[in-house]
Structures are given as structure tokens and as C-alpha cells.
Structure 1
Amino acid sequence: MKYFFLIFESIRRNPVRTILTSLGTMMLVLVVTLVFTVLTAMDRATTEKSSNIKAIVTEKWQVPSMMPYSYAKALTEGAADPADKSAARPSDYMTWGFFVGSTESNPAKRGFENMFFSFVMEPEKTRTMMDEVDEMPDSEVRPLIDAIARMKEVPNGVIVGPERLEKMNKKVGDRITVYGRNYRDINLELEIVGTFPKEPARFADSAVIARDYFDRQLDAYKQSHGGKAHAMADRSLGLVWLRVKNKPTFNKLTEQIIGSPSFSSPAVKCETSSTGISGFLEAWRDIFWGVRWLLTPACMIVLSLVIMNAISISVREREPEFAVLKVLGFRPNQILMMVLTESVLIGLLSGLFSAAVSYYVINNVFGGLPFRIAFFPKFTVPEAALWWGAAMGAGTAFAGSFVPAWRARSVKVSDVFARVT
């Protein structure tokens, strides 16, 4: 017990150095926590699954994908022959179109702050097929379920993410006009019927518009323009999501879709959602590699050097103390462990505190880390960050303090007292 009392007394003895070391640890742990928050989310999104697989069907030769909506019915059935009972069929589906507009009527004043990004889709699929939302219990998405039901009663209803609602200074029940940008001259009069839950954060800035309502607006455009269809009318299907139970079913489904003559102009491709997302993130690949293998190790090395410098100064100042401890009967390894424990304790507590504060503030105050990558506008700090921070703080503290601790272990009593006298 007295041994641990000595450790805590040593930490308390120089509060300025302890606080500075702790702050340095917390700042670098914060940086690495933010980095790993993004990398973990990307890894999770691009990891292949062996069951409950989501497939994505897109246009083969063009990005962004813009297929005719006439493809939708056959694709949602997996291009299966109705007479073939052995054909692979998806257990669920979701079609996506994209309507990008602005709530500002004056083109000169349009910017990111009034941009309006929405999925054009079947509202009920928001609950069963949207990533992460489909895995949440009903108790956590009850307002969303109610909003989906409301869209059946309100044809021009829209579900808007909480962050976009806040930016627009609107609430559920308000009406908005969205002026089309990718669908020029298509302006939508919408009624906000509900919102997404705060988690997952990726949909906080998005919206959902009913496909039936959107198609009626395209038909109305055609009628008002002398029978001339909108330029995007036959290119309104972006992606089709299909859920299959396992990899063999996915492979067979892919063969059916690719081999179907119904999808030849334009041609389509079918891939797992993880592969598709990897394709979207291809432009970020080198950045992710550099952050993972260069920035993160560099942060840990810098942290180790900071701790090494602080502990080295402390060891030099405390050489007489270590000499007295040896005279009192402390063994060299006990002194080694005392210095290491002091450093590791500071690193562990500082790392844990930094990670815990990051977890709470980013998730509960800011609603996620606002760092847009492709269609990931925000990232939630995972609970695993708590042990990341503690392990990182303790590990770098151990690495940085080992050499100074060994020097303390090797202090010679005769040399120290010779200098004193």
C-alpha cells in the first residue's frame, strides 16, 4: 500500500508537469479517436458479409447511375422468370432516385446552407432497407414509422433529417418549396410529415420523397409542355437495392440480372453493397491509407516522445530520491515499476478521459462528427473508442517512459551522494 502511495505522491508533487503531460496525451488521443471513428465506419461499410447481403444494381458504364425507371419492376424481382420456381429472388428491395434542389427561389442566393438532397423512393422501404435504420428496434424509430404511415395520407409528404430541419428553421407540419437543380423546372411543394432519428447520423441532412408523388410531377411537366417529357424523365432511377439471404443466392441473382436482355440499353451491373460503396470511396483510398498508416503512427510516436521528455526531466530531478529509496531497501526493479506505473497511470486516465469526452460531446452535442465523405455526412464515435483511448494512452506512455524508467533503475547511490556533498 505504501508503494502505491509513493506513486500517487510522485504524480501529485509536480502538478504542472502532470497536467501538461496529460493535456498532450488528451489532444493526441482526440486526434486518433477522430481518425479511427471515420476509418472504422468505412471498414464496416466495405466489409463483405456472408449472409443477409444487400446487393446494388446500377448503370454499368456511367457514374452517376441514371437508369430508366422502367427497369425497376423487373430488377426488384431479380430478373427472375415467373415460371422458374428455382430462380433467385430478393427478400426485399428499395429503389433510389435522387432529387437535388434548393429551398431558395433566387438562383443567385443558392448555396450549401439551403441545398436540399432527397432520396426518391418507396417510403415504407426507409424502415426495412435503409442501412442501420433497418437494424434498429421499433422503439427507437417510432416517430419514423409514424411518418412513413403519414406519407400514405399526404402524397406530397417528405421526411427530413433533423439537421436539415434545423438549418431550414422548420418543424414537422410546415410546408416548403424545393426548386430543382438536377431536375430543372421541377419545383416540389412538400409538407414535412416527420424526421429521421438522430442516429444513424448519416441521414441527418437528407430527406425522403415518395416515388409515386415524384412521378406525378414528371407527368405534370409533360402535360404542361405540350407532351414533351422532361430531359431526366427516362433517367430517374439511380440505384436498386436488393436483399438476399446468402452469397450463393447473390451469385445466382447477379447471373439473372446480367444475363437478362431487358437491361441492355443502358447495361447494368450488380454488386454487393460493400463493393459498391468501395467503388464510391475509390477516390479516398490513398487518403485513408495515409491516415491509417502514416498519420496515426506519427501521432503515437509524437505522444511517446512528449511523455519521454516529461518523464526524463522528472527522473533527473528525482535522482536523489531514487538513491534514498535504494538505501532504504527498494530494489532496482521496484523503482523501474514505480516510474512506469506513474507514467502509464497518467496516460491511461488521460486517454480514457479524452475518449469519453469525445464520445459524449460528438455524439450527444453535435450529433456526430461532421465530416462528409461521399454520402456519409456524419460519423458516430463508437463505444469502442473508450478502450481505444485508454489503450492508446497507456501504450504510448509505457513506450515513452521505459527508457527514463530504466535510467532511474540504474541510478548509482554513490554517484548521487558524491554530487550532493
Structure 2
Amino acid sequence: MKFLVLVFENIARNPVRTILTSLGTMMLVLVVTLVFTVLTTLDYVTKEKSANIKAIVTEKWQAPSLLPYSYAAGLSEGAADPNDPNAVRPQDSMSWGFFVGSTESNPAKRGYENLFFAFIMEPEKARTMLDGIDVLTDEQAAPLIAGIKRMNEIRNGVIIGPGRLEKMKKRIGDRITGYSRNYRDINLEMEIVGTFPKEATQYTDSAIINREYFEAQMDAYKLSNGNKPHPLADKTLSLVWLRVPDRVSFNKLTEQILTAPSYTNPPVKCETSSTGISSFLDAYRDIIWGVRWLLAPACMMVLALVISNAISISVRERRTEFAVLKVLGFLPWQILTLVLGEALLIGTLSGLLSAGLAYGVINGIWGGLPFPIAFFPSFAVPIDCLWWGAGMGAATAFAGSFVPAITARGVRVSDVFSKVA
């Protein structure tokens, strides 16, 4: 206990150096924490699962996938033969289309603040099939559940994420018009009826449009244009999500879909959600590799050098002190431990404080790390960042202080006092 008190006293002797070293540690730990936040999320969503698997059915030879909506009914049943009792059927399913547009009618005034991106889907499936929402309690998902209930009452309801509502300066109950960019001349007049839970940060900029309402608007376009259908009328389905219990069921389901004659024009492919997301992230592969293997290690090396420099200066200034300690009976290993302890204390506490602030501020105030990549608008900092920060601070402090500690351990009493004399 006395040894620990001595470590604290030594740190407090030069508060300016201690504070500067701590701030440098906090900044670099913050950068690495944010990097790990993005990487761990991407690793999780691309990790293959052995149970509760979600499969994605998309167009085989084209990206983005554009399938006829007539595929949805059969694919939602896993292309199972109704007369085959042994056919595999998914536990749950969800169809997706994408509506990209703006709430601004004037193209010259359109910008990011009025951008509108929505999933065209069955509203009730948002509660059971959307990643991150299917694991929430009813209390946490209350804003979404209320919106789904209202959408079942009015077909033109829309659910919009809290981040997008703030950018659009709208709130629940307001009415908006979505002017489509990908479905030309399809403009949707909607009422905002709900929002996504704050815990589901990946949907903060997204929205949900009722599939029935969208299809009705496509039919209205046909009626108002001399019975001529919209050019994309048979390309409103982008993908179908299917949930199966295990890998065996997934393999059987995939075989059913790929061998079904109803889904050959255009042909489809079936893959796990993790594989599909991995393929989608291929465009970011080099960036992710550089961040993982270049940026993060570089930050940790710089952090080790910062601590090494600070501790080296301290050791040079305290050579006489170490000599006196040896005269008083301190063993070399005790002096080594003293120097390492000072560095580890600064590194560990600074790293823990930095990670704690990142967790509280980014999640609590910002609603997630705003780092758009692929279809992830933001990333929630995981609670694991607390031990990441403490661990990174401790590891780099140890690496940076080891050589200065060895130098302090090797201080020779005779050399120090001969110079003093």
C-alpha cells in the first residue's frame, strides 16, 4: 500500500508533464477506440452463424438487385412445394425495396438535409426481422411499435429514424412528400407516424414505407398514363430476407429456391446475410484493411513513444533520487517496478477515462459514431470499449516505459554521487 502511495506521489510531483502525457494518451486511445468500434461492428455482421440464420435472396447477375414483386410471395415461403410436407419453410420473412428521394421538390435545392432513404416493406416485419430491432424489448421498441400500429390504420404512414427527423426538422404527425430519384415521377405523400428506437443507431437515417401504399402508387401511375405501366413496375423488389433455424435448413432452402422454375427470369441467388454483407463491403476492403493493420498499430506505436519520451525525461531528472533509494535499501527490481507502476497508472487511468467519455458522449449525446460506410450511417460504441481503453493504455504504457525503467534500475550510486561531489 505504501508503495502505491509512493507511485501516486511521484506522479503528482510534476503535474504539467503528467497532464500532457495523460491527454496524449487519451487522444490516441480515443482514435483507436473509434477504429475498433467500426471494425468490431463490421466483423459481427459478417461473421457466419450456425443458428438463427438469415438468408438473403437477390438477383443473381445484377447489382443493385431489381426483381419483380411477384417473386415475393413464393420466396417468402422459401419456394417450398405446397404438396411437399418435408419442404423447408422459413420461420419468418421480409421483402425489401428501396425508395431514394428527397422531400424538396426543386432539384436545385435538394441536399443532404432533405435526402429521403426508405425501405419499402411490410411494416410489421420491422419488429421481427430487422437486425438490432428483433432483440429489443417492447419497451425499447415502443416508438416503432406505435408507428407500425398506425401504419396498419393508414396506408400512407411512414416511419423515419430520429437522426433524419432532426435533419429534416420534422416530427411525428407532420406530413411530407417524398420525390423519388430511383422511381421517376413517383411522388409519395405521407404522414410521419413513428420513429426507430434510439438503441437502433444503424437506422437513425432510414425510413419505412408501406409496401401496399407504394404498389398502389405504381398502379395509380399506370392509370394516369393511358394504362402504360411505370418503366420499373416489374422491378420493385430488391431482396427477400428469410430466417431459418440452422445451417442444414439453410442449405435445403437454398436448394429449393435455386431449383424452382419460377425464379429463373431473372435468376436469383441465395446466401447468408453475413456473406451478402461481406460482398457488399468488398468496395471498402482496402480501406478497412488499412484502418485495421496500418492506422490502429500506428496510433499505438505513437502512444508508446509519447509515454516513453515522458518517462525517459522523468528518469533522467531523478537519477539522484534513484541513487538515494538504493542507498536506503531499495532493490533494483523495486525501482524498476516503481517506474513501470507510474507509467501503467497514467496509461490505464487515461485509457479508461478516454474510453468512458467516448462511450457516454458518442452513444448518449450523438446517438452513435457518425461514420457512414456502406449502409451503416452510424456505429454504437460497445461497452467493451472500457476494457479496450484500459488495456490499450496499460499495454502501450508498459511498452513505452520498459526501457526507461531498465535505465532507472541500472543507475549506479557511485557514478551519481561522484558527479554531485
1:171-250 equivalent positions in 2, closer than 5 A: 171-250=171-250
Equivalent AA in structure 2 for residue 379 of structure 1: F
Partner of 1:274: 274
SS of aligned partner of 1:338: helix
- How big is the shift at 1:187? 0.6
* Cα distance in 2 for residues equivalent to 1:265 and 1:24: 59
**1:68-102 CA distances to partner (integer Å, 9 max, x unpaired)?**
00101110010000000001110100000001110
Aligned-pair identity in percent equals 70
- How big is the shift at 1:143? 2.0
Partner of 1:287: 287
Partner of 1:419: 419
Partner of 1:39: 39
SS of aligned partner of 1:34: helix
Greater alpha carbon shift after TM alignment, 241-250 vs 296-305: 296-305
SS of aligned partner of 2:54: strand
* Cα distance in 1 for residues equivalent to 2:346 and 2:76: 57
- How big is the shift at 1:3? 2.0
- How big is the shift at 1:129? 0.2
1:139-150 equivalent positions in 2, closer than 5 A: 139-150=139-150
* Cα distance in 1 for residues equivalent to 2:250 and 2:212: 29
**1:39-87 CA distances to partner (integer Å, 9 max, x unpaired)?**
0000000000000000000000000000000101110010000000001
Partner of 1:55: 55
1:97 and 2:80 equivalent? Answer: no
1:150-161 equivalent positions in 2, closer than 5 A: 150-161=150-161
* Cα distance in 1 for residues equivalent to 2:117 and 2:288: 26
TM-score, structure 2 length as denominator?
Answer: 0.99
Partner of 1:332: 332
Partner of 1:297: 297
1:251-400 equivalent positions in 2, closer than 5 A: 251-400=251-400
Q: How many residues align?
A: 421
* Cα distance in 2 for residues equivalent to 1:45 and 1:354: 26
**1:336-375 CA distances to partner (integer Å, 9 max, x unpaired)?**
0000000000000000000000001100111000111111
**1:216-253 CA distances to partner (integer Å, 9 max, x unpaired)?**
00000000000000011100000100000000000000
Contact 2:50 2:246 in 1 (8 A): yes
TM-score, structure 1 length as denominator?
Answer: 0.99
Contact 2:336 2:405 in 1 (8 A): yes
Task: State the Cα RMSD in Å.
Answer: 0.6
* Cα distance in 1 for residues equivalent to 2:6 and 2:195: 56
Equivalent AA in structure 2 for residue 283 of structure 1: A
**1:187-208 CA distances to partner (integer Å, 9 max, x unpaired)?**
1100001100112111000100
- How big is the shift at 1:263? 0.7
SS of aligned partner of 1:253: helix
* Cα distance in 1 for residues equivalent to 2:2 and 2:202: 52
SS of aligned partner of 2:127: helix
* Cα distance in 1 for residues equivalent to 2:111 and 2:140: 33
SS of aligned partner of 1:135: coil
Equivalent AA in structure 2 for residue 333 of structure 1: W
SS of aligned partner of 2:324: helix
User: Any stretches of 5+ residues in structure 2 without a counterpart?
Assistant: none
Equivalent AA in structure 2 for residue 224 of structure 1: S
Contact 2:140 2:199 in 1 (8 A): no
Partner of 1:65: 65
Equivalent AA in structure 2 for residue 148 of structure 1: I
Equivalent AA in structure 2 for residue 68 of structure 1: P
SS of aligned partner of 1:134: coil
- How big is the shift at 1:289? 1.3
Greater alpha carbon shift after TM alignment, 213-222 vs 163-172: 163-172
- How big is the shift at 1:5? 2.1
* Cα distance in 1 for residues equivalent to 2:59 and 2:78: 15
Partner of 2:133: 133
* Cα distance in 1 for residues equivalent to 2:202 and 2:131: 9
* Cα distance in 2 for residues equivalent to 1:6 and 1:248: 62
**1:289-318 CA distances to partner (integer Å, 9 max, x unpaired)?**
111111111111111111111100000000
- How big is the shift at 1:182? 0.5
* Cα distance in 1 for residues equivalent to 2:330 and 2:166: 63
- How big is the shift at 1:110? 1.0
* Cα distance in 1 for residues equivalent to 2:118 and 2:79: 27
SS of aligned partner of 1:140: coil
- How big is the shift at 1:417? 0.3
* Cα distance in 2 for residues equivalent to 1:178 and 1:73: 27
* Cα distance in 2 for residues equivalent to 1:17 and 1:106: 57
Contact 2:350 2:390 in 1 (8 A): yes
- How big is the shift at 1:288? 1.1
- How big is the shift at 1:168? 1.0
* Cα distance in 2 for residues equivalent to 1:418 and 1:34: 51
